[in-house]
Structure 1
Amino acid sequence: MTDGTPLTDARPRALRLLPTGRSRRARYTAILFVLPAFTAYAVFVLAPLIMSLYYSTLRWDGIGKARFTGLANYVTVLTDPDLLSIIGNAFELVLYFTVIPVLLGLAVASAIRGHMAGTFGTLTRTVLFLPQVIPLVAAGIAWSWMFASTGLVNQMLTAVGLADWTRGWLGDFDFALPAVGIIGAWVLLGLCTMLLVTGITKIDPSLYEAARLDGARPWHEFRYVTLPGLRQEIGVCVTVTVISALASFDIVYIATGGGPGITTMVPGLEIYRLAFAHRQVGLASALAIVLMVLVLIAITPVQWYAREKK
């Protein structure tokens, strides 16, 4: 048009919505880039998940003929007292694997906030992160020696006059699970501290200055400046540590093997035992699916909390 009216596409709307040659090429290019990653994800995640769902409906020893049982394996998982106790052990480990590392990580990050650029901050971060780079098998073996009847823990208790408290910690029905929890807390403390220290550097220093000018004490700075500023980092720490607690395997396998009795048995180790020692592949698969659902239920509120508020 020449009278000032903007030009419009006279084609029908359905035709305008059809992809052009350039947009089709861009879409195909994007698909080609995504295809390798999606293929790997499908082969190593989706396919095993679908197979586990299928196996969980069978009564099968892994070799002979399988028999379809429907939801019977899930009923067993949700009603068997031993299996429920094993799931409870995993949730109890959350207290050690999550609460202790996150709280101590917050305390350490707040304490070294003003010294992170110096030698003290560098040394502190290095020492705290060291357990994260040690193989979990090695950590489990080392702590097994320390918790032994003649280990370092009992030697230290004897040295300070608490010989009555000495015991074989990993073989004690009351203290074995807390001892395993302490190992996990020690391993995860460095990761949580590094994430929180990194997150604290993103907080604008002027917020702390403004808080101090308003008469805020250190506790108020921590509550009203540090905690809100670390919302996403805390969410990541809690997510990682909760998954580590609920899906724990290697530390428990090395330190106690699930004993004494089933006091330290966790779902990950029980799945391995059911599938390969007792050849109950269907029950093991059902427990694995239940564990996956519990992990999703546990971390979904955390992810919701960690979302950045608009």
Structure 2
Amino acid sequence: MSVLAIGRTKTRTRTVSRQARKRRWMGLLFLSPALLLYVVIVLVPLLQTVNYSFYKWDGVSEPTWVGLRNYLEFGRDPRMYAAFGHVLVLILMFGLIPLGLGLISAALLSRAKIRGEGIYRWFLFLPQVLTSVVVAIIWKRIYAPDGPLNSILRGVGLGHLTRNWLGDFTWALPSLGMIGVWGGFGFTMVLFLAGILAIPDELYEAARLDGSTRWQEFWLITLPSLRGQMAIALTLTITGALRTFDMVYITTQGGPGTATTTPALLLYQLAFVNPDVGRASATGVVLAVLCLAIAVGITRIMENKDR
């Protein structure tokens, strides 16, 4: 290669590199308003929360440095252990049950043409359109002693099953869990249905030629192809159960007694009812770390299965 050709190649390389840097800086310029907003709204309050977690402070008087004492009190608080026990029940009902129901429904809808299928999907997805406050108010009325649920039970001759669902120590938490099942079922169904429709038909045709049954097709083709959707559904539903606040606050406020308390509700009480901003901040930091760990753990597990 001649010296002239080498020089032209180097010049072209420098030009391409300069253009790439220019595009990169232009991209950052366009992203800067969103990044600035994210820093102001998310990162700065997050750093302030971490800072507050090392102080004893009621939100008014002068804060006092206590180091890790707030985190140690978090680990020794029996109310917090009870709240995390309640969260485990909510994770089952907010996450795992809707996941299974949504997977089965999506598989059936993708295989069979149902009259009015669009209306059926819309009806099941409706809870995702409504705000959580509206959902909580609706179900609080349904569960009321004189609400529709008890009226239906009396109407079919099962009056002995009626109760104050949200005021019963045994049934209050499962009743809240059923709200999560109703709210999460439609979301998981639509998510899985979108994933199933993206699977190439050639895979199913090849499986049929090999004599596979519908169950084998589901187990060997459909289920492995939905790992990404399953990771999204599990992450959103499990972290949602862990952060449950508004629904509990509106329906039961943690009662009866402490039967439906959650870590997020205890955080609110620590911050605003009997102000201890330091402990509330430590609780918030722990919840944020747990949510991050769950999201990363689920993603890693699904990635390892893909490999």
TM superposition score normalised by structure 1: 0.89
| Distance in structure 1 (CA, Å) of the matches to 2:20 and 2:213 | 58
| Distance in structure 2 (CA, Å) of the matches to 1:153 and 1:215 | 47
| Distance in structure 2 (CA, Å) of the matches to 1:215 and 1:221 | 10
1:46 aligns with 2:55: no
Report if the CA contact (8 A) 1:184-1:251 is conserved.
no
2:297 match: 301
**Partner of residue 98 from structure 2, selected from 98, 101, 111:** 101
Report if the CA contact (8 A) 1:115-1:121 is conserved.
no
- Residue by residue over 1:41-81, the C-alpha shift from the partner in whole angstroms, topping out at 9 and shown as x without a partner, is 11111111100001001100001110000000001111111
Q: 1:284 to 1:207 in 2, by over 3 A?
A: same
2:75 match: 78
CA shift, 1:33, in A, is 2.1
Q: Determine helix, strand or coil for the equivalent of 2:306.
A: coil
Q: Following superposition of structure 1 onto structure 2, how do residues 109-258 of structure 1 map, counting pairs within 5 Å?
A: 109-115=106-112, 119-258=115-254
CA shift, 1:119, in A, is 4.5
Q: Determine helix, strand or coil for the equivalent of 1:88.
A: helix
| Distance in structure 1 (CA, Å) of the matches to 2:34 and 2:70 | 33
| Distance in structure 1 (CA, Å) of the matches to 2:130 and 2:28 | 39
CA shift, 1:87, in A, is 2.3
Aligned-pair identity in percent equals 39
Q: What amino acid sits opposite 1:78 in the alignment?
A: G
| Distance in structure 2 (CA, Å) of the matches to 1:29 and 1:206 | 42
Q: Determine helix, strand or coil for the equivalent of 1:112.
A: helix
**RMSD (Å) for aligned C-alpha atoms:** 2.5
Report if the CA contact (8 A) 1:130-1:190 is conserved.
yes
TM superposition score normalised by structure 2: 0.90
CA shift, 1:212, in A, is 2.8
2:28 match: 31
Residues paired across the two proteins, number: 303
CA shift, 1:22, in A, is 4.4
Q: Determine helix, strand or coil for the equivalent of 1:7.
A: helix
Q: What amino acid sits opposite 1:229 in the alignment?
A: S
Residues 23-32 or 231-240, more deviating? 23-32
| Distance in structure 2 (CA, Å) of the matches to 1:181 and 1:189 | 12
| Distance in structure 2 (CA, Å) of the matches to 1:24 and 1:206 | 43
Residues 269-278 or 150-159, more deviating? 150-159
| Distance in structure 1 (CA, Å) of the matches to 2:85 and 2:164 | 23
Q: Determine helix, strand or coil for the equivalent of 1:216.
A: coil
Q: Determine helix, strand or coil for the equivalent of 2:287.
A: helix
CA shift, 1:2, in A, is 3.8
Report if the CA contact (8 A) 1:129-1:190 is conserved.
yes
Q: Determine helix, strand or coil for the equivalent of 1:215.
A: coil
| Residue segments in structure 2 that go unaligned for 5+ positions in a row | none
Residues 19-28 or 44-53, more deviating? 19-28
CA shift, 1:218, in A, is 2.4
Q: 1:34 to 1:169 in 2, by over 3 A?
A: same
CA shift, 1:28, in A, is 2.9
**Partner of residue 287 from structure 2, selected from 291, 299, 310:** 291
| Distance in structure 2 (CA, Å) of the matches to 1:218 and 1:23 | 50
Report if the CA contact (8 A) 1:94-1:241 is conserved.
yes
| Distance in structure 2 (CA, Å) of the matches to 1:122 and 1:30 | 40
| Distance in structure 1 (CA, Å) of the matches to 2:189 and 2:155 | 31
| Distance in structure 2 (CA, Å) of the matches to 1:205 and 1:74 | 53
CA shift, 1:248, in A, is 1.1
Q: What amino acid sits opposite 1:143 in the alignment?
A: W
CA shift, 1:8, in A, is 7.5
